[in-house]
Amino acid sequence: MLKHNKTRVALPVLGITAAVLLSACGSGPQQSADIDLGTGPAQAGVTKEGALKGVNLTFSSWGGIYQDAQIAALEEFKSISGANLLSDGPTEYAKVKAQVDSKNVTWDVVDSDIIWAEKNCGPDGLLMDLDFSIIDTSNIEHQELVGSCYVPAMQYSYVIMYNTEKYPTPPTGWQDFFDTAKFPGKRAIAGFEDVGPGVYEGALLAEGVAPENLYPLDMDKAYAKLDTIKDSLIYWKTGAESQQMMESGEADMALVWSGRGFAAVENGAKYAPIWDGSLLIADALGVPKGAKNPKAAMALINHYLGAAAQAKVTEMTAYSPVHKDAAPQLSELGKQYLITEPEIAAKIVSTDTAWWAANYDAELERWVKWLQG
């Protein structure tokens, strides 16, 4: 769900979460030095009672049902810790930079694209290194989604959806996506000015590259493969548009975020997913440098990573939890799009966030030129 230079209008259409701010009582907010989070190792989802009484924290995310779900998942944290929680957004990377540069940081925890987060770790980045004595990541199945300055907020996949009425003999993977002779029709892919895991990896998988040998990506080879189907491509620029292309039948196959595939099918679209070779993607949570109370911000992140909070987010959205013991209560259809289900998880291909972060600028320039060519 790549979001560099754009907001997540892609999420189900509820307005941005109303700002929820409970006025602090008593004396001014605690500073990090005053906070006692308790003794012993951190446990995801566990917060010391009253540890953050009077502390004000602002959580920035992408709006819609996703942010509603995140705030709902943090209700227990707010109640137990005593923190006052403000929901703001949508996340805009220029705003994060402006806050950090001006030393006037008002967002304590920021939900971002994971590639942007990786690019902003380290001395020159906008995100501070996380304290993993406060944040427990031991129950995150995919440790490749954890960076020095971020943790995954949720996970999903880029998945091929195909029209079951168009293709009575179903396509089974990337080779079929790129085979317009055997499977004619329009293919929908993301067409906004952003890059990240997606059709490039798919092109290489279609060429027979083994998942474990994908990186570093051979982009010359990937673009050569993309050129073979360019006349059959149509482009979506928001998640809502990708969903509409399935619901209207405009796209015969569509490479979409798994949550949008689920939503389209839930709305009656006659489409089915191809999990074999689908690509693991995640959002990230980080703390901007200069945040007024980083210790409290990291305590919030630690609670958010707990099994109960992760299950809540999944129940309210179509995104999968990152805590391996989360047990969301879902419909039968919802379970079919949960990428943590063993039969789905075994087919998903991990992606290399560090490679994309290191190569982002050059690959973005190439992608835009290819789109316009």
Please say whether the beta carbons of 243 and 157 come within 8 A. Answer: no
Fold of 156-281+338-372: D-Maltodextrin-Binding Protein; domain 2 (3.40.190)
60-to-55, 89, 96, 221, 360 alpha-carbon distances in Å:
16, 5, 10, 38, 24
Above pLDDT 90, what percent of the chain?
A: 89
Provide the residue ranges of all domains of the chain, joining segments of one domain with +. 56-154+283-317, 156-281+338-372
Residues 211-246: tens digit of each pLDDT: 999 999 999 999 999 999 999 999 999 999 999 999
The sign of the dihedral angle between the CA atoms of 241, 316, 318, 314 is positive
Indicate whether 21 pLDDT > 60: no
- Look at residue 125 and tell me whether its pLDDT is greater than 50: yes
Asked: is 56-154+283-317 a CATH 3.40.50.300 domain? The reply is no
Q: Can the peptide bond before residue 216 be classed as cis, meaning omega within 30 degrees of 0?
A: yes
> Which pLDDT band holds residue 26 (cuts at 50, 70, 90)?
very low
Return the pLDDT at 61. Answer: 98
Specify the 3-state DSSP secondary structure of 271.
Answer: strand
Residues of the chain above pLDDT 70, percent: 91
- Residue 12: predicted pLDDT: 35
Confidence of residue 18 (pLDDT cuts 50, 70, 90): very low
Closest by CA to 161, choosing from 78, 282, 242, 72, is 242
**Which DSSP letter does residue 22 get?**
P
HEC string for 80-120:
HHCCEEEEECCCCHHHHHHHHHHCCCCCCEEEEEHHHHHHC
Decide if pLDDT at 24 tops 70: no
| Nearest Cα to Cα of residue 244 among 260, 233, 225 | 260
pLDDT of residue 32: 58
| pLDDT (average), residues 136-145 | 97
Q: Identify the three-state secondary structure at position 47.
A: coil
State the pTM of this model.
0.90
Order of all β-strands in the sheet with 187-190: 84-88, 56-60, 109-113, 271-286, 151-163, 253-257, 187-190, 233-236
Q: Which residue has the tokens 């941005």?
A: 16
Distances from the Cα of 254 to the Cαs of 46, 63, 107, 199, 250, in angstroms? Answer: 40, 25, 35, 11, 10
DSSP-H helix ranges across the chain: 64-73, 75-81, 93-102, 114-119, 174-177, 199-206, 219-227, 239-247, 258-266, 294-304, 307-316, 332-335, 342-345, 353-372
pLDDT, residue 75, reads 98
Q: For 156-179, what is each residue's pLDDT tens digit? A: 999 999 999 999 899 999 999 999
Residue 274 pairs in a beta bridge with: 160
Please report, in angstroms and rounded to a whole number, the separation of the first and last CA atoms in the chain: 24
- The one-character DSSP state at 17 is P
- Tell me how crowded residue 337 is: count the other CB atoms within 10 A of its CB: 25
- pLDDT at position 34, please? 77
| pLDDT reported for residue 62 | 95
Mean pLDDT confidence for 146-164: 98
Burial of 193 (0-12, 13-18, 19+ CB in 10 A): middle
The reply to whether domains 56-154+283-317 and 156-281+338-372 share a CATH topology is yes
The reported pLDDT for the residue numbered 161 is 99
